[in-house]
Structures are given as structure tokens and as C-alpha cells.
Structure 1
Amino acid sequence: MKKTFLTIAAAMMMLACTQTDRKNPFLEEWTTPEGVPPFEQIQVTDYLPAFEEGIKQQKAEIKAIVDNPEAPTFENTLAAMDASGKLLDKVSMVFFNITESDGSDELDKVMETVLPLVSEHNDNIYMDAKLFERVKAVYDAKDGKGYTAEQLMLLDRVYKTFVRNGIALPADKQARLREINSKLSVLQQQFGKNLLAETNAYKLVLEKEEDLAGLPESVRAAAAELAKANGMEGKWVIGLQNPSRIPFLQNSDRRDLREQVYKAYISRGNNGNENDNKKIVLNIVKLRIEKANLLGFETPADFILDDTMAKKSDVVNSFLLGIFNAGNKKAKKELAEMQAIADREGKGVKIEPWDWDYYAQKLRKEKYAMNEDEIKPYFKMENVRAGAFAVAHKLYGLNFEKLEGMPLFNPEAECFRVTDADSSLIGIFYTDYYPRASKRGGAWMTNFREQSIDKDGNDVRPVVINIANFTKPTATEPSLLTIDEVQTLFHEFGHGLHGLLAKANYKTVSGTNVARDFVELPSQIMENWAVEPEVLAMYAKHYKTGEVIPTELIEKIQATSTFNQGFMTTELAAAAILDMNWHDLKSADGIDPVAFEKTMMDKIGLIPEIAPRYRTTYFNHIWSGGYSAGYYSYLWAEVLDKDAFQAFKTTGLFNPTTARAFRTLLEKGGTEEPMVLYRTFRGAEPNPEAMLVGRGLK
């Protein structure tokens, strides 16, 4: 996303001519309720000057640490570093969130200038030899100082960050590392930009009634709304966003159209056009290999995993292969059951990848008499969100109050004040749940402000956000979620609780700032509550009648909890294995990304009816989303979450003692080692069998 600075500078000069009295809101104290960002006041041209001033201020703060004549101590070095960069954090958290959730061409232009600036600034800090001397002096003398566990974690984190950013390298190699970091930042952003463009570009336009064969009224209405939004009123449009694509693949009787939509989805970034990602992938891999080599590691995976719970590539690969084999075995049985249905229909259909969702729906109806459209009316988005809030209230005593008139980054966003049982402020929570062309796909949690204790001893409470791409309301129905979307809402809310409940002194180890393969525990454990009968009875109410979901539907949901898990486990594990294969490379010379992917999937025995959940050219998690050599963490953390949830199943879903113990784990964030936190909660190491049992694979 690197474009010239001249375009931005010219726009800024034009604005200056007409708004000379206007102040940049980032350079002012925010007087909004609880200090949330004043989104409506922020203009695109505010970002670059705020970044430049933020970098300038942090450089001065770092210089003051380096020039301090006093001997290095934890407070005057580590704590001072953690407290630095307040303005830069302020603008960064707004800017990078907005570009992901409500991007524009104008923001892209700013991004092209900002990314190299931020990359260079980060390198300047962590390649500062004099600053490292002070950090190392504190690190080397840490024994016997009586530091808290949190202080030791911060010290270890900062020390390792210097090492992992090349502080020990000679000047020429540091210079090369700077170039690599700058190039990677631009390539990674370009990958995501291309993927968004590819996703938005595809539209299957349906014009005749026969094109709609098999589609329930809810899917037709959503397709009509999408057509209207694209200026094609009176027609129907199917896009590649999950709420549009998945119901179509599940229900459409038009096999030829299912094939078109499926192939369009799995070919994103691999179409030979201006949004093709194959060359970008290879360049990213080559640069990551070179970076790992510079820092003393053979492969990117070796480098990345050195800072995780798993530590070693062999550990991850062995873990994933065991899960993949169990999933693949069950997927073959699922395929045979679906093929039997297709054979009975007598149309000569051999199940292909674009048939899986369609026949899985038929199989589920046949085995469990369950239809997704039968249960969706009980999962109005607002009710599901209220259910997640109710679970947090019963577990942790939290209260959620919707705030009207708050600054919003998009009109579709909503804002809530979160308070504790004693009415003290926990934080501010935003939700933004519906797809739009300016938002990248998927679902995620992040912060507009992280929790910490400031220099005056004040507990700065966090501002947290959940983003998703759920089924949108139509002209005739509210947003009615699928079971998958319900669990996604609870999942991201779990991340949100991890951020909201943070109780740390230092932002570097606060909230979700934990090891990548631990960060999914708080999110995934929340999914377990979503479909528990006791919890469903709390929130699953028919959007028209208010009727609580009937027992027989709850029983069907429970009965189908492990349905299609062979497929789901296999596609997830295959993607994680693909991620590791890319990052286990010692050289990417002469590699064709598509051929490489096929070879790796053939090697593990992935059946042709299933593709990895994310293929190489649209695997945003690993090329642009921070999960490189880390996609395994969803399955790794599932071992933890299924084992941890057994504590609640044993003592009671809302047992106060168990809930208090888990809340403590959430509050501590990254202030202690992950496994120490887990053992403190559970009293033992996690049982790896719990995950396979939970998925119905054992």
C-alpha cells in the first residue's frame, strides 16, 4: 500500500488553506465520555501529522531514557519505555482499526506513507545500542531484586524484543533487516488490500426464478437486499462474504451456480489480475526466510515459534498431523453418507467440493430432522449479544449498558459501558457486526485503548471492539444468526472479556498481549456456553413471538454439535499444516505457490472434496493478520478450552469459585507465563483428549 507522499501533502496543504483554525483532534485531550476517540471529528488528513508528532514525542522520550545519568533501574528504563509513545498509541489504534473496518482509498494513501514511518521508528528503538545497554543491565541484574512476576515478564518481553529485532547484528545486517521490515509491512498490507478487492469484485447476479431454486425466503431476501445495494433492484445477488455465500452453497438446487460461487471463492488472489497474490506470497516468504536467517534461525517457523508455548516446529507439526488424521478419517465417513443420499436421488452426482455444504444440509435433516431455517428465528443478533452479556454477568458480575449519542466510527457500530458488580468502570465496548465493502472479511477483536496504570497511579480502563461479518437485517427480518455465527459472536466476545477485564500495570503485558497460542483460550472457551441448554434458555427467543426456544430444538442443537466435524476439523487442520509448510521453508526459490500447496495437501492425504479452510492466496491470517506459523493456535488453544470448560461442567456452569478463578486468569493477561496461569486455574496440565472428544473424533 505504498504510494507517494506528495498526494497526501497536497491534500493537507489544500485543507490548511480552508481550515486554518481547525485543530487536529489527536493532538488534543479527548473530552468525550470515558475518553473514547471523537470519531466524527477525525478527518483523513489528521492521521499523518499525528503519526509524525507521535513518533517525534516517543523519540524524545526514548532519548531521555538513554541520556538519563542515573544507573539503569526497572523504573527509569523498563517502566519508562512502557509508558512512552502515548500519542503514537492513540493515533495507531484508531487508524489501523479504521482501515480494517471502514477503509477507503484515501486511507490507503495515508497507509502507504505511515507503514514505512512506523517500521523505521520501531527499528530505531529496538536497534538502539545505548538503550539496549540499559535494558540489558537491568536484565542481567534481575535476580534477587524482588521483582513481581509482572515486572519479570515485562523485562523478559522487552529484552527478547531487542534480541529478536536484531540488536546483536552488525551495522550492515541491521540495515538489511530494516529494509526487510519495511518491505514486509508494505507487502502484508497489499495482500489484505488485494483480498478485499477480490472479495468485493465478485457478484453472481440472478435474474430468473429458476436461479433461486432451493433458496429459503431468508436467503432470497438477503440476495435481493444485496442486489439493491449494488444498484440492481429487482434482481438477486450472491457475493463471497460468508452471510451470502454459505447459505447459497447450503441451499441452492442449482449445482452449476454452486460451482461458480465455490470456485470464485477459492480462487481469490489467484486470477492473474491486478489483485493476484501469488507473487506477493513468494516475496513475503523470501523476506521472512532472510529475516530468520539474519537472526540466527533456519526457518521463519523456528524464529516465530521461539516466542510461543509450543516452541518447536516439530511439536506443532506432530500435534496438527494427529488431529488432521482423526478429522480426515471421520470426513471420509461423512462423505460416504452424503454420497449415499446423492445416489438415492438418481441424478448421477459424484460429490464435489461445491456439493459438500449442500449435501451436508440434507444429511443433517435426514439424521436429525434439523433445518437451519427452523432455528435461526430464535437467534436474533440483539438477543444473542444479550445472551453473551448475560453469561458475563452470571460468571463475573459484569453489567452492560448501551450508550446512545456516543462517537461512532461507523453508523452500524454500537457502544456499551461495562461496569463491575460494584458499579466501577470495567471499560467501553463497541460492536460492529455486519459486512460492508469497506470492511475486510472475518471476525476479530481489538482495542482503541489498552488497559494500564498511568504515571499518576490511575487505572486507565480499556476501549475494546468486536468486529464481524454476520447476516444483515433485511427489509422484512432482523439479523437472524446461524449457529456458526452465534458461536463466532461468543468467541469474539471472549476475546473482548480478555481485554476488558485486564488488570496490569504495564500495557505491554496487559489484556490480550499474550503468547499467540494462548490468546485463543479466552475466546474459544466462551463458545462452550453459547449452546449449553441452560444458556440457550436465557437468550434464544423467537424474534416474532418472544417464545423461548423449545426443548426439542435445543436437543437437536445438542445432538448435532459434532455433526460435520470431520469436515470442519480437516479443513482447519489442513490450513494450519499449510501455514507451517510455508514457514518451515529454508528457501522459496523456484516455488509455484499453487503447485506447492497441492503437493503439501496431497502429502498429508487431504481428500479432494475438501480444500484447506484458507488457501494460500487468500490466507489473510498468515500473510497479513499476525498468525504466521501460528494458525495452529486455534486447535492448540482448543485443547486448553475444552479441558478448562470441564471445570465448569464439573462444578456448575456459573459456579462462583470456578468463575472467580477463571476471571483471575483473564485479568492477568500476559503478566505471568501462560502455563503457570493455566495450571493455577485448573490445578494440572490440560488433557489433550478433551478436544478430540469435544469434536466427536474420539
Structure 2
Amino acid sequence: MTPQTFMDSVSAAIARGHLLAERIANAPERGEHEMRKVVKIFDRLSDVICRVIDAAEVVQCLHPNPAWRRGAETVFEEMFSWMNTLNTDPRLYKTLQTVLNTPSIESGFSEAERHTAIMFLRDFEKSGIHLSDAKRAQFVQLSDKIVSLGREFMNVSSTPGPGPSHIMITPPARLRGLATGHIQRITKTNKQGEKVAAVSTSGWESQMVLKHVEDEEIRRAMFVANMAEDKSKVAILDDLLKTRYELAQLVGLPSYGHLFLGSKMVKNPQNVNAFLQTLHGSLQQNLEKELAMLQRAKQIHTRNNNARLEAWDKDYYQHLINSQTSTIPPGEPISAYFSVGTTMDGLSKLFSHLYGITFVPRSIRPGEVWHDDVVKLDVMDERDGLIGTLYCDFYARHDKQPNAVHYYVRCARRVDDDDEENDVAPGMMLREGIKLSTADPGVHMPGKEGRYQLPIAVLSCGFSRPVGRKPALLNWLEVETLFHEMGHAMHSMIGRADYHNVSGTRCPVDFVEIPSIMMEHFLAAPEVLDLFATHYQTQAPLPKGLLEAHQASRSTFQAIDLHSRLTLSMLDQLYHSGIVGDSGFNSTKSLNDLESAIGIVPPVPGTAWQTGFGHLNSYGAGYYSYVFGRCVTEQIWDKVFKSAPTSREAGERLREHVLKWGGSRDPWKCLGGLLEDERLMKGDEEAMKIVGDWVTSASRV
């Protein structure tokens, strides 16, 4: 495929999309038989749009060719704008509203069809369908601006700030704590004949300084340089937040948080903030103990009983305490037991135990993928056969986004009842030379009526490459990240709904993180590690003592780690609340106010780390989902998996109550069914209180 053939396929999809939109608009004139097909046609339209947008996002983020990336960016923005235009089209809204208000049609809906129809209706209402023509046009303009600002924010969030690119250390011996060989590599002789070490203020080198260098003044200089306020970046973020607020105001809501959260499990910002405050309160006792450990360590280390813990101290003293108390035996690191290949094999074995699902590597056709690194896996079910395809792009490249991400390319949906032949109305003339996209023919799924389009997903990571004959080895955090993202991938494979718009991970953001966080629990279980964790050279299993020592060291500062997530969640809610509408709003001031109120160290003047918080774009008002999901998965693990982590019975229970539904069922019903608690199924205030009680009763950290 070339950039031009990609653009041609986009044109064909748009042509099909226009036909579908007109078919919906004209459905009332064609009678009740056609009106019964409206939800299906809406879903086909959504599928056409999302397949283009999703493919464009993959190309933008992963393709090495700048021409491809530029073309994909143009496609993404144009399709997103058209989608917003459709969401403000009163003809389409009126047709859907009529369908839902016609008992002879609505009474025949399945649960999934009704849920899908209501979701489409909510999309219209969130897009200001009730507004005047001028204000609907303004909604599209603001939505387009949000996409543009979000992309700009992501582009600058990982770029160096206004601080110096390097700090110069004389003499280099002041870098005590870093590896001697590394100090030698970065040391030069200046014109005065002095030895000077030039230390980068970004990337892994800056992190190593904050974690290992004993000299506090160097750590302070590194922190300030790394987190220095970049007013141009702050301006982009503030513009993004204000535009989101303006969008919410346009549709009559007090904040973007209200606009975003209305369709989520938590329902509104008040419930989110109550949950976060409850968690914050339950954390205090353990948090104070851990902070006291750090404070005392600094006082002893500096021989100053009045020494105060600062932002540049946290990583250093956490590492110091861990190294002093660690029982990890000397020798090779735990990463020697986690090559990329071994870990993927372990995931396949785990899914085989839980669901009867395995990964089968497949050859790749010329032009099928964007880089030679990419691995293609067929996802095979022992009962259903092929259920989807997963492309894995594991290794870091300079022209690739660095974070671990799960992307959709195509969702599952039923296709045999598409009725494509009636998309062109009798008497309608198509423009000469126009090409229309066509549906995938689909496959028959055992136990299901009809034929289904199978899902295609991409898993991208930023792991270090193999070196020579040595495979790529993963540290624990990287293994945990791979397990987490594979939770999303498995959700997208198993959640094969009849409708694209509710398949797989197309569900509320506070529900979508539950399957992925569950995978982190599996990784921590010795029974799961026994399936695959072996030394890359000797094939010896991971020693029990090494695992226990490693897990003990990770748990020493668990409350501080959770507090960091909590702070990010609270900041995200603050940035999407009504305060953004204040004339003097400034994201840096809001950050400093929050850190002064709940932070574990004082704010550092001249810094503004919020511009590196990329989730403000992708998870705006939804970052709480990580801590919410962690609380929920603790309950699921304890009640379903703890006694037998690799049990097929437990795996099928998760599959039947959660994974197979995708987003086609109310998530509270899924959760209540899995945990066998009818009170949760209502998703009301009592359900939220139950989740809050899980936090307070267990003081989970």
C-alpha cells in the first residue's frame, strides 16, 4: 500500500458514509421496514468512520515515513470534523428519536440494540443537537479546535523545555552514585583544563540522577531544569482546557467534567470527587508512615535533624531505603527471566488456561505492515477458531510514539445483515468514477447466528531492542505494562458484539480499565509466573526468593505510589471543573494550589510538570479510571481468582460476565453479575457507596 492507495480507500469509505447518512435521513419516508434497520445503519456508519480514524491514528503514531504520517494526520482531522458534523445533523437525530419512540419497533430490540441506540442518541445530545444552527456549527468548530490543540499538546509534551539541555558538573566526582563508566563517558576537558561532566536534563539520564546521585544540589538543579515552566506549553494546555470548558457551556453544562462523565459508570464529577476524597482519607495513615521513613532517612543521611523532604529527594531516598532493606540476592536482575518472547509465550499460556485462547504467529504479506519490527498473531479460540488478529510493534524507534498503547484497527460486528444493496436508493445517481467501500464478508462464529467481521488490533510498546544474540529483556514495570495492554487487547478480541459501536473496548472509560488492571494481578501471582518466567540462557525458572524479595521492595512505598496516581486524578478533575471558566485561570497556579493542599512535598517555584501529563489529552476528565479500576479489581481478584489464579472456571466467569459483552451491556450489571451482588446492578448512589466502602474497609494500598 502507498499513501495514495490509503487516501483512495479513505475516499471510498467517505462515499459509503455519505450514502449511509442519507439513508438514515430518508428512512421515515421509506416506511417502518426501513426504520427497523436504522440502528444497524447508524452502526455501519460508525464503523466506516472509525475504521478510517483508527487506521489514521495508527499510521500517525507508528509509521516511519513522514509522508504517511502527514497524510494520516490530514485524514484524521477531516474525518473527525465530519463525524462532529454528523453528530449535529438534526435529520439523523430526528430519525433515531422516532425509532426509539415507536413501540412497534423499539419493543423488538435486543438488549445490545437498545443500548447501542441509546448511546447514539446520547452522542447527539452531548453534541448540542438541541441548539440553533449557528450554535451547532460552533460546536463543530470547537470540537475541531480541541482535536487540533490536543495533538499540539501531545507533540510538545515530550519535547525539551526552556531549561538547559545539560547541566555541567565540576568535578565529575560529585556525580557519586552513577556508574563510573557512565560518568567517564560524559566527562570532557574544558579550555581551562578542568574535567567537566555534561549531564542531560531529559530522558533516562535525568531520571538516573534523581534516583542515584547523592549530591542534593545536583538533584535540585536537575529537577528544576527538567520540570522548568515552559510558558508556551502552558498556554497550549490552558487553551485546550478552556476550549473544553467553552464546549460544555455551549451545550448547557457547568463544566467539561459534567459533559464527559455523564455517560460513565460514575455519572458525574461529584461522585468522582467523593470517591477520590474517600481514597485520600483511607491512605493517610500508611502515607504518613512512608513519608516519615523518607524524612528520617534524609535527616540521617544529611546529619541534619531539621532537613525537609523536597521534590528532588523522593526518588533518591526511596531508592536508598530499598537498597538498604532489600533482600534481593546479588546476581542477574529479574529482567533476565523476562525476554519479550518468553513473556508473550506466558501470556498465551495464561489465556489458554483462562479462556482456551492462544496466539499463533503468522507470516506477513508485502505492504501489510508499517515496519519490519511488526509481528502478526492470529488469536485462536479452542471453541470458536480464529477470533481476531493482533499486530505487535514492540521496540522503540525515534519516529514512533514512545508509550505502550493498544489501538483498534477494526471492531467486531455482525455483517451478514448489512443490506448494502439498498444503500443506493432507487433513482439515485452516483458520481462517475466514485468507488464505495464494502464490508468484510465475515466468518461464521460457532453458537452465533450470522457472519461476523473479526477484530484487528495493534499493540505498540517502546522496549529496548535485542542486542546481538541477547534477546530484549524487560524489567518488571515493562512486563506489567505489557500485561496491562494485553488486557485491553484480549477485551477487544473476546468482546464480539453484534454492533461495532459497543464491541470490545468501546465501553465507558472507567469500565475499560478493569480488564487491563486485572492482568497486573495475574502477573503478581506466583502460579502465573510459574507458567513462563525462565532465564533467557539457562531456562531455569524464576527463583521464588528473587520474586518475593522483588515484590517486597516494590511494596515499601505503595501508599506514596498510589498517592501520585491520586494527585494526577484530582488534578485532572480540577482542570475539567468550572474553575477553568474563571478569568484568572492558570493551570500552573491550580497545580501549585493542589500540591499545597494534598502534596507530600512543597511545590517548587518555576516548575510546571503538568505540561508533561499527556493523559490530559487522551483521558481528559477520565484519569480517575485507573484508581477506580484498581479498587474494583481488588474485589474481583479476591472473590474470583485469588484461590486459583489460572482456573478455567474463574476465567470463564470473567469472560461471561464482563469480557464478552464489550460495551453492549450496562457495566454495573456486568460487575454485579461477576461479583454476585444485585445491589451493584442498579449503578445508583448505593452502588457507588459500596465501591467507596471497599476502599475504607480495606485501606487498600
TM-score (norm. length: structure 1)? 0.83
In 2 relative to 1, CA 247–683 (structure 1 residues): closer, same or farther, beyond 3 Å?
farther
CA distance in 2: counterparts of 1:581 and 1:571, whole angstroms: 15
The 3-state SS of whatever aligns with 2:93 is helix
1:202 deviates by: 8.7
1:620 aligns with 2:614: yes
1:594 aligns with 2:588: yes
> Which residue in the other structure is 1:575 paired with?
568
1:300 to 256, 264, 268: 256
Mean alpha-carbon deviation: is it higher for 192-201 or for 332-341?
192-201
> Which residue in the other structure is 1:369 paired with?
327
Q: Which amino acid aligns with 1:595?
A: K
The 3-state SS of whatever aligns with 1:468 is strand
1:657 deviates by: 2.2
Equivalence map 1:234-273=2 (5 Å): 240-241=202-203, 246=207, 249-253=210-214, 255=216, 258-267=219-228, 270-272=229-231
CA distance in 1: counterparts of 2:387 and 2:205, whole angstroms: 36
2:511 to 502, 518, 542: 518
1:573/1:632 contact within 8 Å kept:
yes
1:508 deviates by: 0.3
1:77 to 38, 50, 71: 38
CA distance in 1: counterparts of 2:179 and 2:90, whole angstroms: 64
CA distance in 2: counterparts of 1:358 and 1:471, whole angstroms: 24
The 3-state SS of whatever aligns with 1:679 is helix
Equivalence map 1:89-488=2 (5 Å): 89-102=50-63, 105-107=66-68, 109-110=70-71, 113-142=74-103, 145-198=107-160, 210=173, 213-215=176-178, 240-241=202-203, 246=207, 249-253=210-214, 255=216, 258-267=219-228, 270-272=229-231, 276-327=232-283, 329-346=285-302, 351-370=309-328, 374-406=333-365, 407-422=368-383, 424-455=385-416, 457-474=450-467, 477-488=470-481
CA distance in 1: counterparts of 2:696 and 2:178, whole angstroms: 34
Q: Which amino acid aligns with 1:62?
A: A
1:657 aligns with 2:646: no
Could you report, residue by residue, the CA deviation over 1:275-322 in whole angstroms, capped at 9, with x for unpaired residues? x32112222222212211121211111111111111121111111122
CA distance in 2: counterparts of 1:677 and 1:266, whole angstroms: 42
The 3-state SS of whatever aligns with 1:549 is coil
Equivalence map 1:483-498=2 (5 Å): 483-498=476-491
In 2 relative to 1, CA 308–398 (structure 1 residues): closer, same or farther, beyond 3 Å?
same
CA distance in 1: counterparts of 2:649 and 2:691, whole angstroms: 21
Could you report, residue by residue, the CA deviation over 1:166-214 in whole angstroms, capped at 9, with x for unpaired residues? 2111112112112111211111111111124338999659999858743
1:474 deviates by: 4.4
The 3-state SS of whatever aligns with 1:469 is strand
1:510/1:670 contact within 8 Å kept:
yes
* Superposition misfits of 4+ residues, deviation over 6 angstroms: 199-203, 205-209, 692-695
2:278/2:692 contact within 8 Å kept:
no
CA distance in 2: counterparts of 1:432 and 1:501, whole angstroms: 21
Could you report, residue by residue, the CA deviation over 1:37-74 in whole angstroms, capped at 9, with x for unpaired residues? xxxx233x444454344323211221123223323566
CA distance in 2: counterparts of 1:529 and 1:122, whole angstroms: 39
1:475 deviates by: 5.6
CA distance in 1: counterparts of 2:101 and 2:582, whole angstroms: 39
Q: Which amino acid aligns with 1:529?
A: F
1:365 deviates by: 2.7
Mean alpha-carbon deviation: is it higher for 339-348 or for 115-124?
339-348
CA distance in 2: counterparts of 1:635 and 1:519, whole angstroms: 13
The 3-state SS of whatever aligns with 1:554 is helix
In 2 relative to 1, CA 322–677 (structure 1 residues): closer, same or farther, beyond 3 Å?
same
The 3-state SS of whatever aligns with 2:344 is helix
1:95 deviates by: 1.5
The 3-state SS of whatever aligns with 1:370 is coil
In 2 relative to 1, CA 239–96 (structure 1 residues): closer, same or farther, beyond 3 Å?
farther
Q: Count matched residues.
A: 635
2:517/2:630 contact within 8 Å kept:
yes
The 3-state SS of whatever aligns with 2:578 is coil
CA distance in 1: counterparts of 2:369 and 2:256, whole angstroms: 39
Mean alpha-carbon deviation: is it higher for 334-343 or for 196-205?
196-205
In 2 relative to 1, CA 482–204 (structure 1 residues): closer, same or farther, beyond 3 Å?
farther
Q: Which amino acid aligns with 1:354?
A: W
1:80 deviates by: 1.1
In 2 relative to 1, CA 119–538 (structure 1 residues): closer, same or farther, beyond 3 Å?
closer
Equivalence map 1:556-571=2 (5 Å): 556-571=549-564
1:563 deviates by: 2.1
Mean alpha-carbon deviation: is it higher for 377-386 or for 201-210?
201-210
CA distance in 1: counterparts of 2:489 and 2:636, whole angstroms: 18
In 2 relative to 1, CA 385–355 (structure 1 residues): closer, same or farther, beyond 3 Å?
farther
Q: What are structure 1's unaligned runs of at least 5 residues?
A: 1-40, 225-234
1:509 deviates by: 0.4
The 3-state SS of whatever aligns with 1:544 is coil
CA distance in 1: counterparts of 2:484 and 2:699, whole angstroms: 16
CA distance in 2: counterparts of 1:378 and 1:530, whole angstroms: 13
The 3-state SS of whatever aligns with 2:403 is coil
CA distance in 2: counterparts of 1:206 and 1:460, whole angstroms: 58
CA distance in 1: counterparts of 2:124 and 2:14, whole angstroms: 19
Same amino acid, percent of matched pairs: 22
2:53/2:76 contact within 8 Å kept:
no
1:395 deviates by: 0.5
CA distance in 1: counterparts of 2:611 and 2:497, whole angstroms: 39
2:413/2:452 contact within 8 Å kept:
yes
Could you report, residue by residue, the CA deviation over 1:543-568 in whole angstroms, capped at 9, with x for unpaired residues? 23221111211222343453211221
1:616 deviates by: 2.4
1:196/1:441 contact within 8 Å kept:
no
The 3-state SS of whatever aligns with 1:514 is coil
The 3-state SS of whatever aligns with 2:408 is strand
1:440 deviates by: 2.7
Q: CA RMSD in A?
A: 3.3
CA distance in 2: counterparts of 1:201 and 1:107, whole angstroms: 33
The 3-state SS of whatever aligns with 1:179 is helix
CA distance in 1: counterparts of 2:285 and 2:122, whole angstroms: 41
CA distance in 1: counterparts of 2:329 and 2:210, whole angstroms: 15
Mean alpha-carbon deviation: is it higher for 505-514 or for 321-330?
321-330
1:420 deviates by: 0.6
1:656 deviates by: 2.3
CA distance in 2: counterparts of 1:97 and 1:166, whole angstroms: 30
Mean alpha-carbon deviation: is it higher for 511-520 or for 602-611?
602-611
